[in-house]
Structure 1
Amino acid sequence: MIANIAGIPLAANALEVRQYVTELQAVGHRFVLSAWNMYELARSNNQQHIDQCCAFVETLNPLWLSDSTKVKRQEVDRFLQPIFDNVGPVRNRSFSALNQTVAAMWGTYGEGGRPDETFTTSVALLRAHPEFLKTIDSSAKQTPEAILIGRRAYRDGAEALLDSIVDREYLALSLPAGADRLQLDYLMANRNKLLSVSPALAVEDAMSKLRVRDSFKPEPADAADLQHALVALGYCDYFVTGDRQLAQHCRYVVQKLGLACHVCRNVSDIPCQSMSG
């Protein structure tokens, strides 16, 4: 959305969409972005495009998604709390997947952002340290191969065994600090119940399985797509993407999991009505 209505080249209806964005804000809608929006823009080589997109984002005054890993760990921690009330450093504390400031968002990644940190300064910092971008690029390039490996296991009938192994390793990474094998065994034994009350975990599980079974050609960009959707589908009212394939996958996941999020291809698909009503 941002690149099409604020960057270079502009979409033909860019001015109309920006006006509609203003109207949505006027009735109480808040837009939500993530660190992945910063990463994608920082990879651009067109400074004018970057400047225009940054200027537009600042007018949005958006909320910021927490690190998906942090959200998943908090979901697991919340699930374990009634049974194991001494697990993890965030015991009995509520959490939110959304942050009011960029600095608070970076805090969920374990980074100490300055109180006055903005989208613009974060993009500039990423561009000033290309090694950060290369590290993320390297991880993203592993996504297509992971999907292809999963597809081969699915065709060979080994998916069920692979799922059990992967699920245990995956949940082990999502355990809060201080947890042990007893808690991991409990999660494995109650996996379906855990997913039913943990939106981010459930979205990642459903999306990953869909990608393995679908016939699309996997690309490195699929890593960013998953990160955009993972927390947003579970904690936002609307998810906007111009990517047809991503929209299809997200609609499938939302329907399968019974989530309240609406997947839209355009901002104009969001009803312009008061959020207070």
Structure 2
Amino acid sequence: MSTLYLDHSIVTHPASWTPVDEVLTNGKAQLALSLWNLFEIGSASDRAQQDQRLTFLMKAKPLWILERVQIERREVRAFLWKEKLQVAPEPIDAFRRHLSEVESFMVGSKTRIGVTPRQWIDTIDFKRYAPSKELAPTALRQLQTLGPKKVAERQDEIFERWIEGLLPTKLPDGSACSKAELLEFSKFCLDNQAAFYAACPAMAVENALTRARTATASRNPQNSDGIDLMHAVVALAYCDYFLLRDGFVFQCCEQAHKELAGRPLAAVFRDAEDLKKALP
């Protein structure tokens, strides 16, 4: 079944819920959520409001999609295994049936079997993450300051820094990668960027979205930009439909569609009624 990803701008807009519910209950799409959906719900201080939003989403029995970085690590590993090491890569399965499966990639042995969205939210210290929200706008401002020409001149450096934390730390036989092997992996990706982006959907989408988000030098990046990217990357790269109300994010998604024309990206809608009408 086709998958539908909802941006938080839809979750906070009850007027969108009825048409979304009709799409889901009529079997036209399967709801897919990420931990970032829960993070944004839990960031609101009104617990009753949180519960109302969770009730709306959970009655659809959603699939859970892995967090952006987890998906991108799998993409990079699969690319290197296949193209450099000539080893059949593990399939990139972005979706999981249970929330605990997604949590396991974040906390390992501390995973709570059967954890519910309410339980997950209740264990997060949201104040702890407040400083991290400033990282994305700070990075965007730096790129805006450089301008397209200087960014292009330093593209290789930016690329290497970007994928540094996404490179596999183990070889196919399970042994740890040496520093020399990690350098070889990085250089191989750098030297084969066209093939790299062709094989790594989330990486290609993030690359395109970043350019779109820094194209307007006069725009002042917001603290929400980081989480917006988390939603948009997984939605565009791995889902069939992406529903949102945020005009800037929609604009960036349209630009990514143009840049990545011909690739199977999620169809993007700004209105729930339009989505309902478009689905067969």
Tell me whether the two structures share a fold, i.e. TM-score over 0.5: yes
| Match in the other structure for 2:266 | 261
Q: Alignment partner for residue 116 of structure 1, among 109, 114, 117?
A: 114
Amino acid at match of 1:75: E
Give the conservation status (yes or no) of the 8 Å contact 1:242–1:266: yes
Q: Is 1:250 aligned to 2:253, yes or no?
A: yes
CA distance in 2, matches of 1:241, 1:97: 21
Q: How far apart, in 2, do the equivalents of 1:4 and 1:191 lie?
A: 34
Structure 2 residue runs of 5 or longer lacking an equivalent are 1-5, 170-176
Long gaps (5+) in structure 1: none
**Alignment partners' CA distance in 2, 1:220 and 1:149:** 14
> CA offset at residue 5 of structure 1?
7.3
- 1:174-189 matched pairs, under 5 angstroms: 174-177=166-169, 178=177, 179-189=181-191
Flag the 1:135–1:75 CA change in 2: closer, same or farther, 3 A. same
Check if 1:97 corresponds to 2:94.
Answer: yes
Change in CA separation of 1:250 and 1:2 when aligned onto 2, cut-off 3 Å: closer
Which residue in the other structure is 1:142 paired with?
135
Equivalent residue runs for 1:24-35 within 5 Å: 24-35=24-35
Q: Is the 8 A contact 1:21 1:267 kept in 2?
A: no
Structure 1 residue 223 corresponds to structure 2 residue 226: yes
Tell me, in whole angstroms, the C-alpha distance in 1 between the residues paired with 2:63 and 2:35: 11
**Alignment correspondent of 1:161:** 153
**Compared with structure 1, are the counterparts of its residues 153 and 62 closer, same or farther at alpha carbon in structure 2 (3 Å cutoff)?**
same
User: In structure 1, what is the Cα distance between the partners aligned to 2:277 and 2:249?
Assistant: 24
2:7, 2:137 → 1: CA distance? 25
Deviation track 1:58-99 (CA, whole Å, cap 9, x = no partner) reads 102111110211111111111112244388xxx632121111
2:112 alignment partner, SS class: coil
Match of 1:213 in 2: 215
Q: Distance in 2 between matches of 1:273 and 1:212?
A: 31
The C-alpha deviation readout for 1:130-184, integer Å capped at 9, x for no partner, is 2xx23432111121121111111116x4222332211111122211112521121
Distance 1:273 1:61, change over 3 A: farther
Q: Amino acid of the residue matched to residue 161 of structure 2?
A: E
Indicate how the Cα distance of structure 1 residues 246 and 115 shifts in structure 2: closer, same or farther if over 3 A, else same.
Answer: same
SS in 1 for 2:123: helix
Match of 1:107 in 2: 104
TM-score by length of 1: 0.85
Q: Are the aligned partners of 2:68 and 2:202 in contact in 1 as well (CA < 8 Å)?
A: yes
What TM-score do the two structures reach when normalised by structure 2? 0.84
SS in 1 for 2:30: coil
Residue 79 of structure 1 aligns to which amino acid in structure 2? F
